[in-house]
Amino acid sequence: MAQALLYTTTLLLFLRSFSSAQPQYSPESCIPNDEFGKYCPTTCGVADYLHSYKPKVDKDLSDMEELLEHISNLTKGAQDRVDYMKDSASQAQKSISPDVYIKRASSMLDDIIRFEKNILAQEAQINDLQQILDSNDKQMLQLKELSIQLEQKCKQSCQDTVQIQPTTGKDCQDIANKGARVSGLYFVKPLKAKEQFLVYCEIDSFGSGWTVLQRRRDGSVDFSKNWIQYKEGFGYLSPDDTTEFWLGNEKMHLLSTQSHIPYVLRIELTDWDGKKKNADYAMFKVGSEADQYRLTYAYYLGGDAGDAFDGYDFGDDPSDKIYTSHNGMQFSTGDRDNDRYEGNCALQDGSGWWMNRCHAAHLNGKYYKGGKYTEKDAGEYGFDNGIIWATWHNRWYSLKETSMKIIPINRIGVGGGQQAGVKQFGGLGDI
Ligand SMILES: [Ca+2]
């Protein structure tokens, strides 16, 4: 742009000087030449030629002068504008305190630092979370491994701890007769049983084999069960006699009714002072399910715990003893009322038992640690619902341990007749 302007200006000056330097032109002094320069260019011819163009050139020059002036004006305007801007800039620079810039810059710097810190903190958090994730993954892996190990260990320990003795028989005395001298878990198969089942056999050194039907020790098993559960049995059999269970009414029926040689039921009791007492019943039987697993026995054979199965005179009613006897009673549970009471003894006491109206003996009752309990402790109905043997401890005292076990009657007294009150029983001979 600048170069083009310079060039135009130079040309204009040249034309002007040329135009103004020529002498006054007279058209008659020159020979007209139609084709300027044809073999004979003369000054005159050139002058004529130029002269014919002069008005146009003058106008062009004038236009160009105007244009130039305009351009010059524009240039000046631009220059002025630049100057103005320069002034403005310097004035602006002068008018704003450097402190503001510093403050602004400093503020921005603070922001940047803050953002940077945030970013760093977030990165640290992400890093921490990643580490936690990694750690969790490791823990998960370890737990999985542990779980697999435990699973394997559990299987092993189950195999290891539950030792089932190899001898079998129709009851524990049969097993003892075959030479077994160790107490533990054995399979028995009573005569009418379709399948063998597991029992705990208490076998002494004299070869007496007791088949255990019931065990209370520590309250670890809830004896509040329904008909089916009492029928099939519940709780846990253990090879070292450390657990609580009810063998089951059906099994008791099969065991107690299989032989022409009757069984003795021995009830062993321990109170919270550690005292032990027992009661034996001859010709113990549990009827079939069709007869609601009725309890029968011939007589009280003896024992220092007293004959609670025969009922107890609590002093409430003249009929107490009759109402609380158990011989001949059918079995009752909360869901099957076979008792002689207008209510439901088993439901009110939360147990299953050979209920009358209701009981003087109640070995499947609620477990009360320490023994003594009250109507309030007994819950909703407020009746005596503990583990009761009324001829030893009163009905508001719950025994600590119980067991019910059977043995063929001819074994009673074998080994010295160590049980107080137990008659020597002979004449039937060994099985
Ligand atoms: Ca009833």
Please report the pLDDT score of residue 15 as a whole number.
42
Non-local CB neighbours of 255 within 8 Å, separated by 6+ positions:
171, 188, 190, 211, 213, 263, 406
Please report the pLDDT score of residue 92 as a whole number.
61
* Local confidence band at 151 (pLDDT 50, 70, 90 cut-offs): confident
Return d(Cα 57, Cα 54) in angstroms, integer: 5
Question: What is the Å distance from ligand 1's center to 355 Cα?
Answer: 9
pLDDT at residue 2 tops 50: no
Please report the pLDDT score of residue 222 as a whole number.
97
pLDDT at residue 264 tops 60: yes
Question: What is the Å distance from ligand 1's center to 290 Cα?
Answer: 18
Helix ranges, 214-283 (H): 227-232, 249-256
Element (H, E) at 323: helix 320-323
Residue by residue, DSSP assigns 134-159 as HHHHHHHHHHHHHHHHHHHHHHHHHH
Q: Taking residues 104-122, what's their average pLDDT?
A: 77
pLDDT digit string, tens, across residues 329-340: 999 999 999 999
245-276: b or e for each residue (b if 16 or more CB lie within 10 Å)? bbbbbbbbbbbbbbbeebbbbbbbbbbbeeee
**363 Cα distance to chain centroid:** 38
Return d(Cα 242, Cα 229) in angstroms, integer: 21
Question: What is the Å distance from ligand 1's center to 409 Cα?
Answer: 34
Question: What is the Å distance from ligand 1's center to 48 Cα?
Answer: 156
pLDDT at residue 425 tops 80: no
Non-local CB neighbours of 252 within 8 Å, separated by 6+ positions:
213, 286, 293
Nearest to 430 by CA among 208, 171, 110: 208
Please report the pLDDT score of residue 93 as a whole number.
63
Question: What is the Å distance from ligand 1's center to 289 Cα?
Answer: 18
281: amino acid identity, one letter: Y
Q: Which of 31-45, 191-205, 341-355 has the lowest mean pLDDT?
A: 31-45
Residue 268 three-state SS:
strand
Q: Taking residues 304-330, what's their average pLDDT?
A: 96
pLDDT at residue 147 tops 90: no
User: Quick one: what percent of the chain has pLDDT higher than 90?
Assistant: 57
Question: What is the Å distance from ligand 1's center to 345 Cα?
Answer: 7
Q: Which of residues 389 and 430 earns the better pLDDT score?
A: 389
Nearest to 253 by CA among 299, 213, 203: 213
**Would you state the structure tokens that stand for residue 65, as one six-digit string?**
């002068």
Question: What is the Å distance from ligand 1's center to 52 Cα?
Answer: 151
The DSSP bridge partners found for residue 235 are: 245
Please report the pLDDT score of residue 96 as a whole number.
64
* Local confidence band at 359 (pLDDT 50, 70, 90 cut-offs): very high
Return d(Cα 419, Cα 139) in angstroms, integer: 60
* Local confidence band at 186 (pLDDT 50, 70, 90 cut-offs): very high
253: amino acid identity, one letter: H
pLDDT at residue 218 tops 70: yes
Non-local CB neighbours of 323 within 8 Å, separated by 6+ positions:
311, 317, 340, 356, 357, 358
Nearest to 411 by CA among 312, 311, 303, 266: 266
pLDDT at residue 74 tops 90: no
Question: What is the Å distance from ligand 1's center to 340 Cα?
Answer: 5
Question: What is the Å distance from ligand 1's center to 74 Cα?
Answer: 124
**Would you state the structure tokens that stand for residue 399, as one six-digit string?**
């025994």
Q: Are 361 and 281 in contact (CB under 8 A)?
A: no
Question: What is the Å distance from ligand 1's center to 346 Cα?
Answer: 9
15 burial via Cβ count (<10 Å: 0-12, 13-18, 19+): middle
Q: Are 216 and 187 in contact (CB under 8 A)?
A: no
User: Quick one: what percent of the chain has pLDDT higher than 70?
Assistant: 78
Question: What is the Å distance from ligand 1's center to 377 Cα?
Answer: 23
Please report the pLDDT score of residue 154 as a whole number.
63
Q: Are 401 and 275 in contact (CB under 8 A)?
A: no
* Local confidence band at 363 (pLDDT 50, 70, 90 cut-offs): very high
**260 Cα distance to chain centroid:** 56
Question: What is the Å distance from ligand 1's center to 349 Cα?
Answer: 12
Question: What is the Å distance from ligand 1's center to 163 Cα?
Answer: 43
Q: How far is CA 256 from CA 172, 310, 326, in A?
A: 12, 20, 17
Please report the pLDDT score of residue 17 as a whole number.
43
Question: What is the Å distance from ligand 1's center to 338 Cα?
Answer: 6
Element (H, E) at 52: helix 43-95
Q: Which of 47-61, 68-82, 246-260, 264-278 has the lowest mean pLDDT?
A: 47-61
Element (H, E) at 337: none
Tokens 């008018």: give the residue: 95
Question: What is the Å distance from ligand 1's center to 360 Cα?
Answer: 17
Nearest to 214 by CA among 197, 189, 234, 239: 234
Q: Which of 73-87, 126-140, 393-407 has the lowest mean pLDDT?
A: 73-87
Question: What is the Å distance from ligand 1's center to 258 Cα?
Answer: 30
Question: What is the Å distance from ligand 1's center to 317 Cα?
Answer: 18
Which of 94-108, 149-163, 300-314 tops mean pLDDT? Answer: 300-314
Question: What is the Å distance from ligand 1's center to 250 Cα?
Answer: 22
Q: Which of 89-93, 197-201, 257-261, 328-332 has the lowest mean pLDDT?
A: 89-93
* Local confidence band at 424 (pLDDT 50, 70, 90 cut-offs): very low
Question: What is the Å distance from ligand 1's center to 398 Cα?
Answer: 24
Which of 8-22, 37-51, 231-245 tops mean pLDDT? Answer: 231-245
Question: What is the Å distance from ligand 1's center to 333 Cα?
Answer: 10
Return d(Cα 208, Cα 177) in angstroms, integer: 8
Q: Taking residues 64-86, what's their average pLDDT?
A: 74
pLDDT at residue 272 tops 80: yes
Please report the pLDDT score of residue 141 as a whole number.
86
Q: How far is CA 230 from CA 2, 89, 109, 143, in A?
A: 119, 105, 83, 40
Q: Taking residues 173-190, what's their average pLDDT?
A: 96
Question: What is the Å distance from ligand 1's center to 223 Cα?
Answer: 20
* Local confidence band at 322 (pLDDT 50, 70, 90 cut-offs): very high
Average pLDDT over all residues of the chain: 82
Q: Which of 31-40, 190-199, 367-376 has the lowest mean pLDDT?
A: 31-40
Question: What is the Å distance from ligand 1's center to 92 Cα?
Answer: 110
* Local confidence band at 155 (pLDDT 50, 70, 90 cut-offs): low
